[in-house]
Amino acid sequence: MNLFGKFVLGLGLAALLCPAVQAQGGRGFGGGGGGMLLSNKSVQQELKLESDQVEKATKWNEEQRAKFTAAREKLADLSQEERQTKMREVFTAANEETQKALKDMLKPEQLKRFNQISLQQRGVQAYSDPKVVEGLKINDEQKTKLAEIAKEVGDKRREIMQDNQGNFAVITEKMAPISKDAHEKAAALLTADQKATWKEMVGTYFELKREPRPQ
């Protein structure tokens, strides 16, 4: 199976296990998600983290989780539209903090691989990342069509999660073909040069090993 085929099968599933991603409808790993991804043991092994790095990553993830929980609780009484707007602001700030923290914790080669894995786990939402847009030279028509695909996936994800609250095995099973179909549609929009660049961006396919969600 080629990189795109393997990549498609694994996408979007990790996002289902991340409270931060669930709260924003599956935008991908950013603030809290970045921390959760780095705290995953299979990721730590892939990056060859040293013991002190693992300790720093664990402590940082706990701090980020606490910050996110506090921020989410403050927004509980807002309308859905207001909450989404505020959450976008929270995640914009968290993403900036995440990138700074990752640079402090990881060596350059580790950070490069982490970013590749992060892109692999973000689903079609990765195509909306400014760096991806710039790197692939995505045009306006492609942006519109990719956004439509991402919205469709987000809507289906929210519906599935609402219908199967807490049952992540069922959620994962039902999301797998949706994510696969979305990436096939997205890949079909890219030129040959864009596909080649994308392969460089995501690197070798990494199979994330799921871990139980912290309570």
Report pLDDT digits (tens) over 38-71.
888 999 999 999 999 999 988 888 888 888 788 8
Q: How many domains, in total, are found in the chain?
A: 1
Q: Percent of the chain having pLDDT more than 90? A: 43
Q: For residues 29 and 32, give the distance between their C-alpha atoms in angstroms, rounded to a whole number.
A: 7
**pTM score above 0.85:** no
pLDDT at site 213: 56
Q: For residues 187 and 179, give the distance between their C-alpha atoms in angstroms, rounded to a whole number.
A: 12
Lowest-pLDDT choice from 23-27, 34-38, 139-143: 23-27
Contact between 18 and 33 under an 8 Å Cβ cutoff? The reply is: yes
pLDDT at site 35: 62
Residue 137 placed within a domain:
yes
pLDDT at site 69: 83
Tell me what the pLDDT averaged over the chain comes to: 80
pLDDT at site 50: 96
Residue 63 placed within a domain:
yes
Range(s) of the domain holding residue 47: 3-202
3-state DSSP call for residue 105?
helix
Identify which has the larger pLDDT, 77 or 116: 116
Residue 105: C-alpha distances to residues 51, 54, 72, 134, 140 (Å): 12, 9, 26, 26, 36
| Band of pLDDT at residue 166, cut at 50, 70 and 90 | confident
Distance, C-alpha 178 to centroid of its chain: 16
Contact between 60 and 105 under an 8 Å Cβ cutoff? The reply is: yes
Q: How far apart are the first and last CA of the chain?
A: 36
Identify which has the larger pLDDT, 9 or 192: 192
Identify which has the larger pLDDT, 144 or 80: 144
Contact between 168 and 17 under an 8 Å Cβ cutoff? The reply is: yes
Q: Is the pLDDT of residue 152 over 80?
A: yes
Residue 213 placed within a domain:
no
Residue 215 placed within a domain:
no
Residue 211 placed within a domain:
no
Residue 210 placed within a domain:
no
Q: Percent of the chain having pLDDT more than 70? A: 81
Lookup: tokens for 158? 């929210």
Q: For residues 21 and 154, give the distance between their C-alpha atoms in angstroms, rounded to a whole number.
A: 11
Closest CA to 16 of 152, 158, 198, 194: 158
Residue 212 placed within a domain:
no
Q: Give the position of tokens 């299979």.
A: 42
Residue 208 placed within a domain:
no
Identify which has the larger pLDDT, 146 or 14: 146
pLDDT at site 165: 84
Q: For residues 114 and 106, give the distance between their C-alpha atoms in angstroms, rounded to a whole number.
A: 9
Q: Give the position of tokens 């949706």.
A: 178
